[in-house]
Chain A
Amino acid sequence: METEPSNAQPTQHLLLRRVRNADDRQAWSEFHRIYAPLITSFLRRMGLTHADTEDAIQEIMLVAHQGLRSGKYDRSRGSFRGWLYGIARNKALVAHRNRRRPSRAQAPVSESGVDLLGGIEDRSDETDRVIWEQEWRYAMLAEALRHVRLTLSEKVYEAFLRYGVHRRPVEDVAAELGTSTSTVYVYKARALEAIRRWIAEYEGETSEERV
């Protein structure tokens, strides 16, 4: 069901190049695995309903796919992250407009006659971008975890997860894994280091892309 990660560290740049090749179905499924959850979370946080999100996600993936195939996405003109954001946000705005109902939140804020929100545009790009950046980071972390989990031993990963991530008492974790507390510390540090390295390499391509 899951695609086997290749031996070499995959990078975004490499993945996007592979997606352009119509025959590389595996590339497309990897692309979907990484970016579809990101776009889903983004749309949900933009306030789209579950059903609207499902519809929009299909359209966005389609537009992105076509854009990559046809060469519409141009590395020299900006980052992939920014390009995908543009597509996702546009679709979300369209979905919003289609089912706009007056809500509590749209009541005027100022009673002094000055529209204090005048400076803050209707649906601020700034806010959406912050959400996008955050979701992007989560997507990168999720992907990094997937890879790191496969390269590290189960004990190392579990120590990291139980002690480092879930903040369980180190003594408990050491006892559960049948090891010492100092080893749990070492395992945690090792996994963290692997995650950092993975992200730096994957995104290293991204920053080169921006140039």
Chain B
Amino acid sequence: MSGDCLSDELLERYCRGELSGAPAEAAAGHLAGCQTCRQRLRAQQETVELLDDIRLVVDREAAQPGADPFARRHARGTRVGPYEIQDLLGTGGMARVYRAVHVRTGEVVALKLLKDEHQGSGEIRARFLREARATARLDHPNVLRVFPPEEDAGGGPFTGIAMELLAGGSLAERIAAQRREGSLPEPDRVLALSLQAARGLGAAHSHGLVHRDIKPSNLLLDEHGCLKVSDFGVVQALESTTWITGTGHQIGTPAYMSPEQCKGEKCTPASDVYSLGVTMFELATNRLPFTVEGGSPFAQMLKHISERAPDPVRYHPQLPDRFASVILRCLEKDPADRFCDGDALSAALDLASRGEEPSAPRAAGEGRKTPWQMNAPIIREQLERLPQRSIVAWACRCARRVQGFNNDPRVEQAIAMAESVAAGADRASDRPASSRILARMQKLRAASLAAAYTDADDTTEAAAVAAARAAAAASACASARCAADAAADAVFALENALLAWRAGGHSSRNLWREAQNDYRTLRAARLGASGTIGLAVPTETWKPRP
């Protein structure tokens, strides 16, 4: 250990997020360059957990009858406002949570009380109660119920938040147990839990509340495994795990923070979607999307801002693609690329979960839904977020993948048209499109689609041609600056490509996988102003792999 290595005490404060400003940056800077200290930091994290557990044990014993009078103020049987304390359940940075019973109604609740040292701060108390009132208005099965604040028996205000008491612990405990056992959870189970979290979040968002600190320890379970989102807003003011910036402004928990939070920008419902994305990733794979050696909060935040999230399927191969793509979309850097709020996310998860369900036979005689159809709405939404030339490129790739079967000149023609239209739009992109050009593009689209529909049937050739024409239609839409239509046409292109693929005797699953790879490649390529369709779509004919 060299002279300027960090002391154990400093490391512990660093782990606890107690350092701020220059000392925090100095510590982070040292950790970045010193492997010994990074290893010691890991050991120190274990110490912090141990000390926190000891604290709970000590507090619990202090609350027992017979303990010293100073600590016994909140012992079993004490009255606090309209409640009678029963047991100590947990201790946070600034508050303690007790099991308590309402003296009049007999209702058993979790009662959160500010610690003595914070009772004096008017600002903290006011915030504590304001958040309690805001959350009390929410009534949703997936949101932890908070009872409206009541007056003290003596008529004075009473600084406590009474909440529904749940017996099942939190997702953090569940993830810890999974890690200990080294077992990966059933994807369906993760999906069911995620869906409930998204619904709870959606309810809050529709009331104009943003949580800002979604993480596994705030997602609680009741004894039946039903999930409830807890600690709306309250947590920001109260938990010690929140990271404090140099200015003393608390903004969240680094491991789960959205890029905009890391940058100190405004939190929106999409920020909660991101944090839930991190949580779903962790619940599904037992690991965080962004891991930092030594757990430096700064390095962690930097990764949220700049590093692409890995595919969760890499760490849990049984995870269905449709679920993985929902998680990845939550982890998009740009809030506009994510689901806009909890409800949008829960709709997507709902679709993903219903993918398991056998569905009514299709008119074409297909007995089961293919993976693509189950996800069409999701992928269409995802495509919409891509730059428009990427949508066209994706559609063209779908069409090219079936071209290998028959080398139909009509397919080449349609793809060539799509490319030339898009390339023309590329060149013209710096000029505002005139209404005449837009009208022409719309006509072109209508013609392409009409041709595609006429040809679409179960034969390989017709379906392949239809796919290419749909790609052309997508291109026309993109040129007309209509991402939604372009995405819909691109989906139509893939559907036709799937038909052709199957009619050619190939498993549609392979094409589905290729299409998804294409999507990821294109998304990574980020075809911006400098990208062109010609570069994105290789000109050689794509042969289907056996």
The answer to whether the Cβ of B22 comes within 8 Å of any Cβ in the partner chain is: no
Name the one of B141, B167, B191 contacting A104, with C-beta atoms under 8 angstroms: B141
Residues of B within 8 A of A109 (CB): 141-142, 196, 226
When chains A and B are docked, how far (Å) is the Cα of A109 from the Cα of B350?
12
Residues of A within 8 A of B540 (CB): none
Residues of A within 8 A of B166 (CB): 105
When chains A and B are docked, how far (Å) is the Cα of A133 from the Cα of B180?
11
Residues of A within 8 A of B68 (CB): none
- Indicate with 1 or 0, residue by residue over B217-240, a CB within 8 angstroms of chain A CB atoms: 000011111100000000000000
Q: Is the CB of A46 within 8 A of B223?
A: yes
The answer to whether the Cβ of B57 comes within 8 Å of any Cβ in the partner chain is: yes
- Pick from B47-55, B422-430, B438-446, B490-498 the stretch touching chain A: B47-55
When chains A and B are docked, how far (Å) is the Cα of A131 from the Cα of B57?
15
When chains A and B are docked, how far (Å) is the Cα of A134 from the Cα of B50?
12
Residues of B within 8 A of A145 (CB): 54, 57-58
Q: Is the CB of B177 within 8 A of A114?
A: no
The answer to whether the Cβ of B307 comes within 8 Å of any Cβ in the partner chain is: no
The answer to whether the Cβ of A185 comes within 8 Å of any Cβ in the partner chain is: yes
Q: How far is the CB of B463 from chain A (nearest CB, A)?
A: 32
Q: Is the CB of A165 within 8 A of B169?
A: no
The answer to whether the Cβ of B176 comes within 8 Å of any Cβ in the partner chain is: yes
Q: Is the CB of A126 within 8 A of B188?
A: no
Residues of B within 8 A of A174 (CB): none
Q: Is the CB of B225 within 8 A of A133?
A: no
The answer to whether the Cβ of A130 comes within 8 Å of any Cβ in the partner chain is: yes
Q: Is the CB of B221 within 8 A of A127?
A: yes
- Select from chain A the residue with minimum beta-carbon distance to B87: A44
Q: Is the CB of B226 within 8 A of A130?
A: no
Residues of A within 8 A of B221 (CB): 127
Q: Is the CB of A129 within 8 A of B177?
A: yes
A141-B53 in contact given A46-B223, A127-B225 (Cβ < 8 Å): yes
Q: Is the CB of B99 within 8 A of A127?
A: no
Q: Is the CB of B54 within 8 A of A141?
A: yes
- Select from chain A the residue with minimum beta-carbon distance to B178: A126
Q: How far is the CB of A68 from chain B (nearest CB, A)?
A: 25
Q: Is the CB of A138 within 8 A of B56?
A: yes
- Indicate with 1 or 0, residue by residue over A148-164, a CB within 8 angstroms of chain B CB atoms: 00000000000001001
Residues of A within 8 A of B142 (CB): 109
Q: Is the CB of B53 within 8 A of A138?
A: yes
Residues of B within 8 A of A142 (CB): 57, 60-61
When chains A and B are docked, how far (Å) is the Cα of A158 from the Cα of B174?
34
Q: Which residue of A106, A122, A165, A195 has the most chain B CB atoms within 10 A of its CB atom?
A: A165
Q: How far is the CB of A178 from chain B (nearest CB, A)?
A: 20
Give chain B's interface secondary structure class.
helix
Q: Is the CB of B223 within 8 A of A116?
A: no
- Select from chain B the residue with minimum beta-carbon distance to A103: B222
Name the one of B60, B173, B189 contacting A120, with C-beta atoms under 8 angstroms: B189
The answer to whether the Cβ of B168 comes within 8 Å of any Cβ in the partner chain is: yes
Q: How far is the CB of B459 from chain A (nearest CB, A)?
A: 36
Residues of A within 8 A of B354 (CB): 112, 114
- Select from chain B the residue with minimum beta-carbon distance to A143: B57
- Select from chain B the residue with minimum beta-carbon distance to A115: B192
The answer to whether the Cβ of B357 comes within 8 Å of any Cβ in the partner chain is: yes
The answer to whether the Cβ of A32 comes within 8 Å of any Cβ in the partner chain is: no
When chains A and B are docked, how far (Å) is the Cα of A119 from the Cα of B190?
10
The answer to whether the Cβ of A166 comes within 8 Å of any Cβ in the partner chain is: yes
When chains A and B are docked, how far (Å) is the Cα of A197 from the Cα of B357?
53
The answer to whether the Cβ of B8 comes within 8 Å of any Cβ in the partner chain is: yes
A116-B353 in contact given A104-B141, A123-B223 (Cβ < 8 Å): yes
The answer to whether the Cβ of B152 comes within 8 Å of any Cβ in the partner chain is: no
Q: How far is the CB of B84 from chain A (nearest CB, A)?
A: 11
A-B contact pairs, 30 of them (CB 8 A): A46-B223, A47-B167, A47-B223, A105-B224, A105-B226, A106-B224, A109-B141, A116-B196, A117-B224, A119-B188, A119-B192, A120-B224, A121-B225, A124-B224, A124-B225, A126-B174, A129-B177, A130-B169, A131-B169, A137-B53, A138-B53, A138-B57, A164-B51, A165-B51, A165-B55, A170-B9, A185-B8, A185-B9, A189-B8, A195-B50
- Further 17 A-B residue pairs, CB within 8 A, beyond A126-B174, A126-B177: A45-B169, A47-B223, A104-B141, A104-B145, A117-B226, A127-B223, A127-B225, A130-B169, A130-B173, A131-B169, A141-B54, A142-B57, A161-B58, A165-B51, A166-B58, A170-B9, A192-B50
The 8 closest A-B pairs by CB, nearest first: A120-B225, A116-B192, A47-B167, A105-B222, A127-B168, A130-B173, A130-B177, A141-B57
